[in-house]
Every structure is written in C-alpha cells, then in structure tokens.
Amino acid sequence: MALQSNKFQPRGGAMAAGTPPLLVVLALWGVVALFGVVWVAAWLAALVTPGEVGSFGARWVLWLVTGDTGQAWPGTPTLLVVLFTAVMGGGLGYLGYRGFLLVRARLGSEGDPVTALNVGNSDVAELARPEAAEKAVRLRKHSLRGSQGASLDNRDVGLTLGDMKLPHGRTGKRLFASWEDTVLAYMAPRAGKTTALAIPYVVDAPGPALATSNKGDVWAATAKLREERTGERVWLFDPQSITHQGQQFWWNPLRNVKTVEDAYRLASHFVLTIDDEDSKKDMWGPAAKALISQLMLAAALGDEPMERVAEWLHDAKQPRPIEILFDHGFIAYAEALRETQNIVSETRDGIYTTARTAARCLDDPEIMLWVNPPEDGEMDEFDPREFVRSKQTLHLLSKSRSAAAPLIAAMTDAIFIAGEEASEGMGGRLDPPLVAVLDEAANICKIADLPDLYSHLGSRGIVPVTILQSYRQGVRVWTENGMEAMWSAATVKLFGAGLDDHKIVEALAKLIGQHDVSTTSFSYGDGKGNHSVQLRRQEIMEGADIRRIGKGEALLFATAAQATLLKMCPWYTGRDAERIGTAITEAEKSVTENAQRRYARTDNP
Ligand SMILES: Nc1ncnc2c1ncn2[C@@H]1O[C@H](COP(=O)(O)OP(=O)(O)OP(=O)(O)O)[C@@H](O)[C@H]1O
Ligand SMILES: [Mg+2]
C-alpha cells in the first residue's frame, strides 16, 4: 500500500486545490512581464537610434498607458519600438507555448493510465539506454569485448520491446529485453506479432536466430537480409511446402539421442500433439510416450533412420528394437518394450494406436523426406551443434496443428539442448546469444518442457520469445501448472491487442495496481463559494482499458517493475524498412511462381 500511495499520487492535485489564487498571481505577473517586454524593446530601439528610454517603474508604465511616448522613449521612433515589441512578444509567446506543451506532456492528465504508469516510471530504467547497453557489454563479454555501452548499436543492446508511451501521443525511451531475458507475449491475430516482434528480432539477432511460423512471412522478410548481414546460411525447414522453395537439407532427429532421457524428451513432443480434448491422451498418453521413446532409442542406437520407427509402430510384434536395446545394455527399457508388446491385446492396441496418432508425421512421405537420409546422399545435414556456434538462421514452418508440428518442436528443442551444451564451453553463456522466436508456439512448437526451460534458458544466453494468442491457449498445451511456471519464469511479459479473457484481464488489472484520482467540486452557501477536492482510489487500468489496448501497442510486465505501456516498433517504421519491403516483394514473387509451376505440373502430369 505504501508503494501505491507514494507512487500514484494524483498528478496536478496541488494545483487543483490552489487554482483560483494561483491564476490571479500568474495573471498579475503576466501584466508586469508585458510592460517589461515593451521596455526592453524600447531600450533596444534606443540603442540603435540616437533616442533614449526612461527608467523602468510605475511612472514609466503610466507614461506608456497614457500614450506619452515622448516621455517613455524620448527621441526613439515609436514604430521601431512597436516592431521590436512584436518580434520579442512573438518569440517569447512561441517559447512559452512550447514550454506549456512540455510541462503538460510531463504532467499528463489525472486518471490517464499512460500518465500513471509511464510518467516518472524509473523501474524500467535498466531496460533503456544507458543501463541496458552497459548490461549488454557485461553479458556479451566475448562478442562485445572492448565495446563501450554508449557506442553500441541498438541491435546489440537487446531485443526492442517498444517505445514508452507518453501523454498526448508522444513517445519516450526505447526499452529492450536483455540477453538474459526470457520473453512471453500474448497477442491476438493482427496485433503485431510478426511485424513488431518476429521480423525485427530475427533481422537484428547478433548470433544464431530461429523462428517458427505457420506462414512464410518471417522467412520472406528476413532471409535475404540475414544472409547479407551475417554472410552465413539461412536454413528453411518447410516440410509442408508453405513457401514452395524445395528441400535443401535434411535433419536427423535421432542423431544425438544416446540415453533414455534423450529419447524420452524427443518422444514427449510427439505425444503433446494428440488432440487436447482427446481422452486417449490421458488414458494411453504416458504409455504411448514410453513406447515411442523405446523405439526411438532403439532406432538411434541401431543407426536406423526415422522411418524405421514408423515401421515398428505399425508392427506390434517386431522383435528388432528389443534386440537392439538389449545389445546396447538398456535391459530395463528392452524388458519394458517386450512387456508392452505382450500385454493383453486391447491395452496394447490402445497404446500402439495412440502412439501412431502422436507420431503420424512419420507416416507422411513428404514430411519424412526432411528427416530421413537422402537416397542419393547429396543433401547437407543440419547440425544443431554447429548452428548454435554460428550466426546462421533457421526458419521452421508448419501449418497449425499439422502432423509436422512435433518435428518443429523437436528441432527447436534439439537446438536448445545444443545451445546449453555449447554454453558450458563458453563460461556458462552462449555468446553471441541465440534468439528463438516461437510464434504460434501453442500450435506448432509444443515443446513439452518449455515451462521448465524458461527458468534457465536466459541465464545460458538463449533468449526464447514465445508468442501465444492467449493465456488459455497456453493452458491447453502446457496445463494450468505449466503456464503458471512459465508465467513466473518469464522475465519479460508483453500483452498486446485483443486480450479478451475476462479472468486474465481482471488479474492483469489487479497486478497493475491502483492510484488516487481526485474529483473537484464547487458549492455555494452562506454567501460564499466553497471549493473542495476528494480523493478516490481506483484501478489504473480497468479490465475494459486492457481490452482496448490498441494494435501495435503492448503492456509490458518486466521483473519487479511497474507495468509500462509501449508503442511497439514494427519493421516498416525501422531503418531496414525499405530493404525488408523489397525482400518481401521478391520472396512473394518467388513463392507465387514456384506454386504456379508446381500446380501446373500436378495438373499436367
Ligand atoms: N508494411 C506494412 N505497413 C503497414 N502496416 C502493415 C504492414 N505490414 C503489416 N501491417 C499491418 O500490421 C498489423 C499487424 O500485422 P502482423 O502480421 O504483425 O500481425 P500478427 O500479429 O502477426 O497476425 P497473425 O496472427 O495474422 O500472424 C496488421 O494490421 C497488418 O495489416
Ligand atoms: Mg503473424
């Protein structure tokens, strides 16, 4: 309470109580200043002519108001005095007007959320220059060695969150997420996820960057620029041909699976894709996950490709994976698999059917081309370990809720694992840091233990930016407990336009806090006027205000800081706008041409 009463005093309250007497005093001084201006103008005119001017005082004012210019400025041309008065008056009037605007903007208006949250908000100072730049130098000891905070480019300081909104439509300091932050953003469709977060973050990432998306827009906007800027490879993982660019590489999800834990972690991404309402997930989910992990571990140890896992999933009597697990000393795991295969048929069928549903991408030949070794052996293999030590870019594309989604999650997670390993060899922190923009995370990047990862990725130099359409959407994937964990572990939370869940909106209103708002009343009685001011406590932003956050704007919650309202910085207002615009046009042209060619081939085989 002490915090609230100190910080959120009504602005301009003192002014309101003493307004009438203050105005009278100001008006009197204004008149004196006016005469002063005329006297200074007469003095200047007397300087440039052979005339004189009387000394300033009551007598001089009397000469002036009675029009006795012969006494007020003897020998000085009155026309010149008028001219000088006009010039000085105009100049001073202009300066006064600018000053008034400045003071008005600084004070804001009482009851206005922008005024209450942003004016004088020193909590977010460490997210702005110069503190943010100093922090960047401290966190990136290797890649910014020898740099001074003041001379850092914005893109090295951190990920741009937005500019602080100020009263009357102005904006203030630019705020950045640091290289040890973990970002969680909630935004509805068309709220600015791609234009203000994904595209600028990928373009400006100082090291490796990955972005998941259900459209080709982030790839289209950033691929060319990233290639030119980093001089390194831009990978496009697009098993559903969203961009029609063809396949240029493959990735082996089993390459680094060596332990039960590795296999279990990989299998968990697949199980999470079973329809959330599906009762099979609760009943058979854990056993299906165990089965997939046993088969994947067997395939990895036996140097078999991913397609073998699909074959084994369709043959519940297959002895080969059990043999491999035995051969490599995973006795308990082999026994468990044998037990599953020999269980009563209804149970076994339930487990195998659920596992096949979870891993249905393995049955899709188009998708499998991306994770099976190429038949002619000509194609490059993507290596997460090399990626995290580079400045490469990876775009992971999948249609929402599609079969390919588990592979997007698995590949992202493989990069996180590689990033953590690499950070151990760099003094605990990946440098330059890895930026991972997980757009549409709840549909296409359901990394099972993302909530846990949030608690330590930031300290490893891996900055995840998970973008969800709503809190509920996250709960459906990671459960209430998971989302609570992710909420607590995210050091930067952004809420954009389109928040409609009344529970969340009310919870946010409470977290933002309250302030005192004054109401002034005048009454007349017993022959005299009475002016009184009452204070009323109210929420700084009510639920309805939060619902009305505009497109391109966001509410920021940073650790231990007062909530702040931001105007986000979309790419088309930034310095790379022209180049990104051209890149989008060129990429769209290529997508259209390739799509037309492909459909022409399909129509005329
Ligand atoms: N070059 C541009 N100039 C001006 N406005 C633009 C430009 N590109 C996009 N916009 C607008 O910016 C807004 C945000 O678009 P954006 O693609 O970032 O939304 P999104 O949150 O990613 O939505 P979705 O869920 O559809 O992916 C939209 O209203 C869009 O029309
Ligand atoms: Mg988008």
- Of ligand 1's listed atoms, the one at least distance from the Cα of 199 is 18
Output the CA 497–ligand 1 centroid distance in Å.
12
**Angstrom distance (rounded) from CA 582 to CA 228:** 14
CB of 320 closer than 8 Å to CB of 243: no
Residue 11: the pLDDT is 41
Output the CA 217–ligand 2 centroid distance in Å.
7
Residue 7: the pLDDT is 40
- Of ligand 1's listed atoms, the one at least distance from the Cα of 214 is 27
C-alpha dist (Å) from residue 143 to 203, 298, 328, 433, 455 = 18, 41, 42, 9, 24
Burial of 455 (0-12, 13-18, 19+ CB in 10 A): middle
Closest by CA position to 412, among listed 376, 465, 369, 460: 465
**Angstrom distance (rounded) from CA 450 to CA 466:** 9
Output the CA 44–ligand 2 centroid distance in Å.
64
User: Which stretches within 193-278 are classed as H helix?
Assistant: 199-204, 217-230, 260-271
- Of ligand 1's listed atoms, the one at least distance from the Cα of 469 is 25
Residue 14: the pLDDT is 38
Structure tokens at 251: 């990735």
Q: Nearest residue CA, atom 23 of ligand 1?
A: 190
The DSSP code sequence of 572-597 is GGSTTHHHHHHHHHHHHHHHHHHHHH
Residues 6+ apart with CB under 8 A from 77: 45, 49, 51
φ, ψ at 594 (rounded to 5°): -65, -40
By residue count, the chain amounts to 605
Structure tokens at 578: 């022209």
Burial of 61 (0-12, 13-18, 19+ CB in 10 A): middle
Output the CA 192–ligand 1 centroid distance in Å.
5
Residue 275: the pLDDT is 57
Rg of the chain taking only CA atoms, in angstroms: 33
Ligand nearest to the CA of 496: 1
Buried b / exposed e over 68-77, threshold 16 CB at 10 Å, is eeeebbeebe
Q: Nearest residue CA, atom 3 of ligand 1?
A: 572
Mutate to test the pocket of ligand 1, among 190, 219, 242, 494 (most ligand atoms within 8 A of CB): 190
Q: Give the residue ranges of the chain where pLDDT is below 70.
A: 1-21, 104-108, 273-282, 602-605
Output the CA 479–ligand 1 centroid distance in Å.
29
Closest by CA position to 550, among listed 75, 113, 18: 113
Beta strands 462-468 and 434-438 are parallel
**Angstrom distance (rounded) from CA 55 to CA 53:** 7
- Of ligand 1's listed atoms, the one at least distance from the Cα of 192 is 18
Residue 273: the pLDDT is 66
At 419, the amino acid letter reads G
Q: Nearest residue CA, atom 5 of ligand 1?
A: 572
Q: Measured in whole angstroms, how far is the alpha carbon of residue 559 from the centre of its chain?
A: 14
Residue 10: the pLDDT is 40
Residue 274: the pLDDT is 66
Residue 535: the pLDDT is 82
Residue 3: the pLDDT is 33
- Residues with C-beta less than 6 Å from any ligand 1 atom: 187, 189-195, 551, 572
